[in-house]
């Protein structure tokens, strides 16, 4: 069985979520898949909008969470309600323009002949014209990388090492193995993901992909960025959440640091 479960989180982006789903249905053929939408307690018109716009689509499950579980908890809830042997975690601001599901499945199965593969991530474009490539992926950071990236006074030192951390010499137009893939589009086998014990729900938003990709590497898996197919990522087009993103980012950063560098 090669069924793919696509898990999409919705938080106050019903129109964007529906556009993502419509692009999936329109472009993906000859492949068995389902779409699991997890509404993270939006408390807006999302439910009504979905009932009006998604009722005629087949193979769609909509889960309404009683509270906002964030990225990690929302995706973990989606997995509980998913049936596929493969998982594709997608942001709601992603659009398809080709048969990417089949291309990614073929790529993962081909790579798995020679490697233990964790996540693969397709190339992401930041505009519909596909002229701007999103510079995703990174190495597993050491503590000084995180300090340098988040404290401006340190950003002019260790520039060569920092460039390596962010792969700044790579244009993202070639495939390569990477440490960390982008959380906006993560494709993997279900059994691998469950072996990693899913997303760590201590990370409400941000650093969850660093955390799970690091665990994958520690278990001997490789993560891959691939240009076998591309998606459009309308990054930063969704509305700001009610809780300040910067506060959530700092909270997740500190949790990542304490989990990985400062053992208490």
* Token pair 């279900």 in the structure block, residue: 190
What angle, rounded to 10 degrees, do the helices at 46-53 and 14-27 form? 30
Q: Give per-residue pLDDT as tens, 30-63.
A: 999 999 999 999 999 999 999 999 988 888 999 9
Q: What does the block give as tokens for 226?
A: 């691939």
Q: Give per-residue pLDDT as tens, 65-88.
A: 999 999 999 999 999 999 999 999
Q: What is the pTM of this model?
A: 0.93
CA-to-CA distance for 175 and 172, rounded, in angstroms? Answer: 7
Taken in order of first residue, the domains within the chain and their CATH numbers are 4-137+172-260 (3.90.550.10)
Q: What does the block give as tokens for 133?
A: 């490539």
Question: Cα(first)–Cα(last) distance of the chain, in Å?
Answer: 44
């Amino acid at each position: 069985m090669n069924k793919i479960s696509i898990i999409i989180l919705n938080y106050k982006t019903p129109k964007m979520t529906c556009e993502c789903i419509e692009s999936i249905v329109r472009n993906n053929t000859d492949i068995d898949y389902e779409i699991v939408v997890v509404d993270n307690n939006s408390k807006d018109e999302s439910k009504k909008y979905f009932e009006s716009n998604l009722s005629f689509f087949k193979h769609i499950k909509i889960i309404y969470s009683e509270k906002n579980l964030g990225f990690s908890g929302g995706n973990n809830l989606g997995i509980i309600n998913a049936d596929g042997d493969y998982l594709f975690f997608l942001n709601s601001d992603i659009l398809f323009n080709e048969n990417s599901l089949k291309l990614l499945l073929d790529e993962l199965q081909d790579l798995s002949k020679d490697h233990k593969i964790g996540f693969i991530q397709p190339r992401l474009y930041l505009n519909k014209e596909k002229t701007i490539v999103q510079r995703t992926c990174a190495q597993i950071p050491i503590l000084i990388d995180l300090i340098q990236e988040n404290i401006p006074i340190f950003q002019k030192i260790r520039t060569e090492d920092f460039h390596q951390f962010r792969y700044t010499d790579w244009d993202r137009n070639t495939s390569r193995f990477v440490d960390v893939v982008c959380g906006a589009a993560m494709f993997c086998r279900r059994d691998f993901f469950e072996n990693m014990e899913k997303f760590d729900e201590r990370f409400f938003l941000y650093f969850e992909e660093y955390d799970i990709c690091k665990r994958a590497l520690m278990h001997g898996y490789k993560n891959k960025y691939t240009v076998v197919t591309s998606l459009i990522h309308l990054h930063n087009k969704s509305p700001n959440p009610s809780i300040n993103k910067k506060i959530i980012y700092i909270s997740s950063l500190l949790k990542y640091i304490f989990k990985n560098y400062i053992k208490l």
